[in-house]
Structure formats: structure tokens, C-alpha cells
């Protein structure tokens, strides 16, 4: 089961919300669809679900064209929109039965499907309560249950942890990771930690265009700029700042040495290396050969936040 998008474009009047984007998501992949508010994430999700129609381009779900057979596509998709489609005056069981009927689950299998979703989504303790009485975390679980009630092969989740407290977020993220083992799953969010905690791959969209696509590691390597090595040395009475500076300046690949602080009997030093140069081993050997005590050494890496800001702030 895969989702394939080819040259997708969508406009609202004169506003171009999605601009000629293409990507593919395969079975067992959890893809984070990451972007600032208004970037085109929700519009893309609504196009995949056939809630909206595109101006141009193609969307295929399991090889089915969304424009030529939208009903068949909808049967394969479970969708949790940002605004959870719940009825507060219905209890959990009745609501899930209603959702199953809407999704054309066979009558003989509805009770079985509801029972399974109650178990999978951890709703056993609240299954007879009205939805309006539930916490935000449990309401999100009910929303996930309705999205999966017909056992879809594709799950589209739009901001699934919005408004949850830290404990609820952890629970929902674990549930998403478990679901992603068997489903094709796209998680739309503007929260970086969400992507890092749950996703195998990241697609970053900005102003309707895809600006990055890959694993977190591959994106970090691609957008890695100048490397910075931070180290902490125990002060040596025989070595002043000048010696420290010249000692590391002499290492091949080092571009700049900066003593950040020299408080509490230690030196804290930042060393900038040329792009692509790993100078950690040479720095360590230089410290040892000068009989100095190394307390800490680590390389500052480009974070997903750094990449996101770089790609979405211009």
C-alpha cells in the first residue's frame, strides 16, 4: 500500500496553497509532514482524502486515482483531522458503532471492530462514558479509534497531539509508533519533537512547496554547515591562553579557535572545523601530547530545528 503524489497543485482563488509537489509514502513508513502554520500541510491531507479536489497533478492511493474512484480511495483511508469529529453527547461505544456504520463496516462485524479499537486505543476504562466527559487525551484516542474503525491501510493524522499534556503526548506517540508498523502513515505537524519521536522520514513543506525530504540523519548530513567541536580542559598553570590558541590552530582542518570561558579552573573552548573535516581525533591527540587533562569533548550537530528554521524563515 502506498501513497503517490505527482505534481500536485491546489489554489484557493488567487492564493496558491500547494505548488507542484511530488512524493511517495510506502507501507510501514511513518512520514512526518512538517511545516509552519499555513504551509500547505492540511490542504495536502484534504486532497489525499478527496475532501478537496486538486487544480492539477495526480494522487494515487494503492494505485487508485483519487479523481477517478474517490469512493474506493476513501475506504482505504483513516483520517484524524485537526478538529476531532466527535459528538460530545454520545458515549464512546455508540459513537464508534456510528463511525463503523458510516464507513460501511459489515453489520455482523461492527461489534468486533468496536471491541478491537477500544482495546488498541486504550479506551476500556471510558468506553461507556459520554465523549463530552473525557479528557483531551481520551478524546484524541476516540478520534484515532474512529479513523481506524474500518481497518484502513492508510492513516492520515493532522496535529494528533495538539493541546495534550506531556503524559498524554507520550501515550499518543507510542500508539502512533505501534500503528505505523502495519500502516502507511502520514503525520502532519508543526512540532519538531513530534517528528523526532515518531517518524522514520521527514518531509518539510513551506509556502506550498516541498523544501526537504529524507530521514533526520540524511537531512542533518545534507544541511550540515561548519562543524563545531566543544571541549573542556582542566587549567594548566604552565599553559596560558596563547598556548591553547596556537596548540589547536596548528591542527589540520581547524579554521577557528575560541576560548568561551576560563572560570572555575577549567577552559571551555569552541573549535570550528572546515566543512567535511572531522578533527576530533587530532584534537584529542594534541591534548594528550601536551600533557593536558581533557574533561569533555563533543561535536555540535545540526539539529532538525536548525534545518527547519533555515528552510522556513525566508
Domains contained in the chain, CATH given:
3-214 (3.40.50.300), 227-301 (3.30.70.3190)
CA-closest candidate to residue 149, choices 184, 111, 99: 99
Q: What is the pLDDT of residue 203?
A: 97
Interacting residues of 19 by C-beta distance below 8 A, sequence separation 6+:
9, 40, 207, 208, 209
In the chain, which stretches have pLDDT less than 50?
none
**Residue 314 confidence (pLDDT):** 63
pLDDT tens by residue, 180-220? 888 899 999 888 888 988 999 999 999 999 999 999 889 88
Return the pLDDT at 102: 94
Residue with cell 574533561: 295
**Closest Cα partner for 101 from 150, 139, 64, 145?**
150
Query: What was the pLDDT predicted at 5?
Result: 98
Which of 215-251 are b and which e, b meaning 16 or more Cβ less than 10 Å from the residue's Cβ? ebeebbeebeeebebebbbebeeeeeeeebeebbeeb
- Listed residue (229, 171, 219, 168) closest to 192, CA to CA: 219
Model pLDDT, residue 251: 92
* Buried/exposed 61-87: b ≥16 CB within 10 Å, e otherwise: bbebebeeebeebbebbbbbbeebebe
In the chain, which ranges are continuous DSSP H helix?
Answer: 41-48, 70-76, 92-102, 107-120, 136-148, 166-179, 192-198, 216-222, 241-249, 280-289, 304-312
- Residue 222 grid cell: 545534507
Count of CB atoms situated within 10 Å of the CB of 181: 10
What is d(CA 258, CA 87) in angstroms, rounded to the nearest whole number?
A: 60
Q: What pLDDT shows up at residue 46?
A: 95
Amino acid at each position: 500500500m502506498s501513497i503517490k503524489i505527482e505534481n500536485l497543485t491546489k489554489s484557493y482563488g488567487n492564493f496558491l496553497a500547494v505548488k507542484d509537489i511530488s512524493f511517495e509514502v510506502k507501507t510501514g513508513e511513518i512520514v512526518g509532514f512538517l511545516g509552519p502554520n499555513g504551509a500547505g500541510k492540511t490542504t495536502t491531507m484534504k486532497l489525499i482524502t478527496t475532501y478537496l479536489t486538486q487544480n492539477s497533478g495526480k494522487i494515487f492511493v494503492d494505485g487508485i486515482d483519487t479523481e477517478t474512484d474517490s469512493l474506493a480511495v476513501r475506504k482505504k483511508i483513516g483520517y484524524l483531522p485537526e478538529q476531532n469529529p466527535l459528538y460530545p453527547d454520545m458515549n464512546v461505544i455508540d459513537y464508534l458503532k456510528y463511525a463503523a456504520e458510516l464507513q460501511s463496516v459489515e453489520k455482523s462485524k461492527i461489534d468486533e471492530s468496536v471491541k478491537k479499537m477500544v482495546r488498541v486505543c486504550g479506551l476500556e476504562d471510558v468506553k461507556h462514558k459520554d465523549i463530552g466527559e473525557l479528557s483531551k487525551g481520551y478524546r484524541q484516542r476516540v478520534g484515532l479509534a474512529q479513523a481506524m474503525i474500518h481497518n484502513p491501510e492508510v492513516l492520515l493524522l493532522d496535529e494528533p497531539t495538539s493541546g495534550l499534556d506531556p503524559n498524554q503526548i507520550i501515550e499518543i506517540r507510542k500508539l502512533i509508533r505501534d500503528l505505523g508498523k502495519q500502516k502507511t502513515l502520514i503525520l502532519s505537524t508543526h512540532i519538531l519533537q513530534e517528528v523526532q519521536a515518531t517518524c522514520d522520514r521527514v518531509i518539510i513543506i513551506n509556502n506550498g512547496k516541498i523544501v526537504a525530504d529524507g530521514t533526520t540523519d540524511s537531512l542533518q548530513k545534507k544541511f550540515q554547515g561548519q562543524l563545531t567541536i566543544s571541549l573542556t580542559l582542566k587549567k594548566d598553570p604552565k599553559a596560558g591562553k596563547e598556548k591553547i590558541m596556537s596548540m589547536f590552530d596548528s591542527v589540520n582542518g581547524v579554521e577557528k579557535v575560541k576560548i568561551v570561558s576560563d572560570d572555575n579552573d577549567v577552559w571551555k573552548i569552541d573549535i570550528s572545523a572546515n566543512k567535511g573535516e572531522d578533527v576530533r581525533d587530532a584534537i584529542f591527540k594534541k591534548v594528550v601530547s601536551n600533557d593536558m587533562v581533557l574533561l569533555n569533548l563533543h561535536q555540535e550537530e545540526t539539529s532538525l530545528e536548525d534545518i527547519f528554521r533555515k528552510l522556513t524563515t525566508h
